[in-house]
Structures are given as C-alpha cells and as structure tokens.
C-alpha cells in the first residue's frame, strides 16, 4: 500500500508502526489503536524527532487532548486532537486522567491559583485557547475540577466565540516571534492565524501551506494590492499574514522578530528582495450565525 498521498504531519504512521485507523491506507509492521491523554503543562513543544534539540513543529496547550501511539525513553509519539498534528511530546507533559473541558482561556494569558485570592502564589500560567474543566463559577474566580482557581473574566465557555478573528490576532501585537510557538510568550506566523481563527470558532490547520490550501477562496492579486479587505490572508511560500484593513498587514515575522503591523506593500517589497513573492490571497466566508 502506498503512503505518498498521506501527509505525515497529520497522519500517524512511521516505518515501524501506524495508527489502527490507517490500517487500510498504509503498510506497517504493527498498528496501534492509541490511548487518550491530556496535556497538564502550561504549554509543551511538539517536535518532529524525539530529541530535546529538535525544532518545534507546534505547541500544545494546557487541557488539550492527544492520542498516544508510542512511548519510549520519556517521549510520547502523539496526534493532537485539535488539529491532527503528529509529533513527539515529553511524556511528562501528559496525564492519563482526562477531564472533559467546559471552558477555554480567552485572555492572552492567565494563571491557575491554589485559592480564590489574587494574593495567592500562582501555580501555573495558562495561555489563550487553553482548555479547563470548571466545577463552579464565582464572580471573581472559577473553581476547576482539580481544585485550582482561575479568574472568571479570563475564561469563556466552549460555546463562546470571538466575533472578529482579526481583533484576536491584534491582541498579540509585540509578542516575540518563536518558530512553532502558539502563546503570548512567542508564536510564529501560522500559529498566530490558527489561534485567532480557533478563538473565533473556525477550524484551522497548523502550517501556512495547509492554511493556503484549505482556508477561504482565492482573491486575485494586483501589482498594487488593490481590493483587499480586513481578514484577508496573504500567503508567501512558508509565510502568512492577516490584513487588518485594505493596506496594513499583521504578521508574526522573523524580520521584526515579533508580531508587527506594516504596510503590505512594504512587507511585499522586502520579502521580494529575498526572492519571495505573494503566492495567494485567501478570503474567508462570513461565519454562519
């Protein structure tokens, strides 16, 4: 059976094993059904290889669910439930005790506390889009099932969605650029797009080439970039940015080493000097009510 049609970034198969769900699609010495685990670190880097110096491919947030297909030498080979990405996590970041999420963090960042007291020493920082399981909601703090507390105004139930994904992305202005990152501590171009869209209730793949292929409908690109709108996604090979109006581009980029806003024309001219030209502009359909 051929495997060339399956993207290994989102399909769990290796030379030595594959997910049971792929039995009819790939050949492998063994197939594994996998076991569900939950992330209990504030954030954990997913890597392409089980090595501490391997590059991050993405970041997994507190409360996210993953399916573990293999565990060896302190590394777990997993598939993320939220976007299907496959890679290696430190096994210590995962718990076999899975709690159903009721809310997610809508603030850029917050903390878990041992008591409903702003003076209590925080236990753990949490980032936007982290998932939590609330047992009781109070006016100032919500008590989680595990006994910790989080500020009530920093979370929202899972049915809540931000009305404007661009406004979500704008909140990350000045955040350091970090390859593979997805938090207020650092993120990359496609991570910014993914977090913003997910907070607005839209499914979004992780990498910019996936986003270009799967999101929205294509908009013609003129030499002067006329006709662009707020929310249009501008793609280059390996890069993506978000239009905040007809002229300005918001993007996490390695030139500023931060999330920055600049005229699209200025960004395009600079990137073109390195040999890259815009590959596509994609426009998202209005979200259904």
Q: HSE on the CB side for 249, CA within 13 Å?
A: 23
Chain segment 146-188, per-residue pLDDT in tens: 999 999 999 999 999 999 999 999 999 999 999 999 999 999 9
Domain ranges of the chain: 18-95, 103-157, 165-283
Q: Is the pLDDT of residue 3 over 50?
A: no
Q: What is the DSSP letter of 47?
A: E
Q: Is the pLDDT of residue 18 over 50?
A: yes
Out of 3.40.50.970, 3.30.30.10, 3.40.50.720, 3.90.1720.10, which CATH number does the structure's domain 165-283 have? Answer: 3.90.1720.10
Give the sign of the dihedral formed by CA 141, CA 142, CA 147, CA 150. negative
**Mean pLDDT value across residues 97-118:** 97
- Which pTM does this prediction carry? 0.95
What is the pLDDT confidence band of residue 275, given thresholds at 50, 70 and 90?
A: confident
The residue among 223, 221, 6 whose CA lies nearest residue 233 is 221
- Mention every residue, 6+ apart, whose C-beta is less than 8 A from residue 213: none
The pLDDT score that the predictor gives to residue 223 is 85
63: alpha, beta or left? (left if phi > 0; alpha if psi -120 to 50): left
Could you give the CA distance from residue 68 to residue 80 in angstroms, rounded to a whole number?
A: 9
CATH number of 18-95: 2.30.30.40
User: What percent of the chain is modeled with pLDDT above 70?
Assistant: 98
Order of strands across the sheet with 233-236? 217-219, 280-283, 233-236, 239-243, 248-253, 258-263
Evaluate whether 18-95 and 165-283 have a shared fold: no
Number of Cβ within 10 Å of residue 178's Cβ equals 20
């Amino acid at each position: 059976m051929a495997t060339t049609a399956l993207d290994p970034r989102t399909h769990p198969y290796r030379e030595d094993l594959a997910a049971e769900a792929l039995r009819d699609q790939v050949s492998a010495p063994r197939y594994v059904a996998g076991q569900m685990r939950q992330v209990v670190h504030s954030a954990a880097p997913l890597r392409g290889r089980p090595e501490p110096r391997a590059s991050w491919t993405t970041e997994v947030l507190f409360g996210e669910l993953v399916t573990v297909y293999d565990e060896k030498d302190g590394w777990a080979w997993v598939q993320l439930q939220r976007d299907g990405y496959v890679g290696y996590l430190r096994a210590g970041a995962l718990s076999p005790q899975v709690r159903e999420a009721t809310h997610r963090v809508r603030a850029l960042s917050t903390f878990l506390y041992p008591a409903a007291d702003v003076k209590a020493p925080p236990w753990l920082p949490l980032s936007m889009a982290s998932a939590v399981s609330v047992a009781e909601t109070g006016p100032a703090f919500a008590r989680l099932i595990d006994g910790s507390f989080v500020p009530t105004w920093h979370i929202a139930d899972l049915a809540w969605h931000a009305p404007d994904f661009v406004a979500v992305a704008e909140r990350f202005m000045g955040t350091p650029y970090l390859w593979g990152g997805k938090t207020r501590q650092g993120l990359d171009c496609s991570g910014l797009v993914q977090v913003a869209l997910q907070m607005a209730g839209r499914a979004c793949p992780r990498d910019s080439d996936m986003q270009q292929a799967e999101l929205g409908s294509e908009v013609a690109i003129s030499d002067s970039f006329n006709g662009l709108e707020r929310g249009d996604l501008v793609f280059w090979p390996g890069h993506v940015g978000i239009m905040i109006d007809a002229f300005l581009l918001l993007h996490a980029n390695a030139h500023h080493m931060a999330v920055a806003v600049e005229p699209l024309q200025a960004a395009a001219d600079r990137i073109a000097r390195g040999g890259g030209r815009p590959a596509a502009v994609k426009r998202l359909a209005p979200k259904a009510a």
